[in-house]
Structure 1
Amino acid sequence: MDLLEGLKLKYQSVLNVVKSKGVVLSNLHVEGDKLFIKGAAPSEDIKNDVWNAIKAVNSDWSNEVMCDISVDTSLPQPTRTYTVVAGDSLWKIANQFYGNGAQYPKIIQGNPSSLKDEKSVIHPGDVLVIPD
């Protein structure tokens, strides 16, 4: 395994954050003996999520990674979704994502075309947007 593949494997959790949060990479290569990551994030919070993921892999990350992430607010914000399974309720889904089932109105607000109010019925296979 070459150095690039080894570093990509080690920092796979960072690359997963990059992908799931809508960060657009312009460079991902080895420079010297470090993984060089360059790109743009849709927000400062997402940029910080990338940095936190790097630090979670290795507290001494500066020996292995160079990261240059800018913020480009014109990039689309990532959309988190959830596919309903048997036994789900809006309360249960809100509890899973927000730690408080009483936050289910957020899910209703994030899905105006399919959920009208707390009496809306969800079915297995429905895909719901889960707002932050």
Structure 2
Amino acid sequence: MTAKEKYQPVLDLGETLNVKDGKVEEKENKLNVWGTTKTQYEKNLLWDKIKEIGGNNPEDIMADIKVEDTSVYARHTVKSGETLGKIAKHYYKDASKYQAIFNANTDKLKNPDLIYPDQELVIPNL
């Protein structure tokens, strides 16, 4: 199996995330990938997938992933049934950090218990 075949799920995720300026090269059974994600959260998703496949220190891949917008951790469009707590749990693995999301969106939100589908929220860097 080539390195490209091994890391195909990473390349597929990059396509799903619409990574900009994506470039892939394979030399001497080592995969080199470059690109720019929209947010740090998307970059983290790619690295998590790389580590899932190759372990914590994979030697058969070199990834240079940049982030387009470092002012936020992510941007999230609210879906029906979501709460700030559920959103915080998704991004930070801690529902109690919902207040950070609320504070970053006081221009749109007046009450942390009232969010609506299709609102775009900023998920701040912690």
> TM-score, normalised to structure 1's length?
0.55
SS at match of 2:74: coil
State the match for 2:112 in structure 1: 118
Which residue identity is paired with 1:37? V
- 1:57-94: CA deviation from partner (whole Å, max 9, x where unpaired): 124843x43x15276x8x422623142213x3333433
Fraction of identical pairs, as percent: 26
Aligned residues between the structures:
121
Structure number, greater radius of gyration: 1
Quick check: 1:80–1:130 contact (8 Å CA) kept in 2?
Answer: yes
In the TM superposition, residue 11 of structure 1 has moved relative to its aligned partner by 1.5
The runs of 5 or more residues in structure 2 that have no matched partner are none
Q: Could you say if the C-alpha distance between residues 82 and 10 of structure 1 is closer, same or farther in structure 2, counting changes exceeding 3 Å? A: farther
The aligned amino acid for 2:109 is L
Q: 1:91 aligns with which of 81, 85, 99?
A: 85
Tell me if the contact between 1:91 and 1:103 (Cα under 8 Å) persists in the aligned partners. Answer: yes
Counterpart secondary structure, 1:69: strand
Q: Distance in 2 between matches of 1:102 and 1:81?
A: 17
**Aligned-pair distance for 1:28?**
0.8
| Helix, strand or coil at the partner of 1:118 | coil
2 CA distance for matches of 1:70 and 1:53? 13
Ranges in structure 1 where 5+ consecutive residues have no aligned partner: none
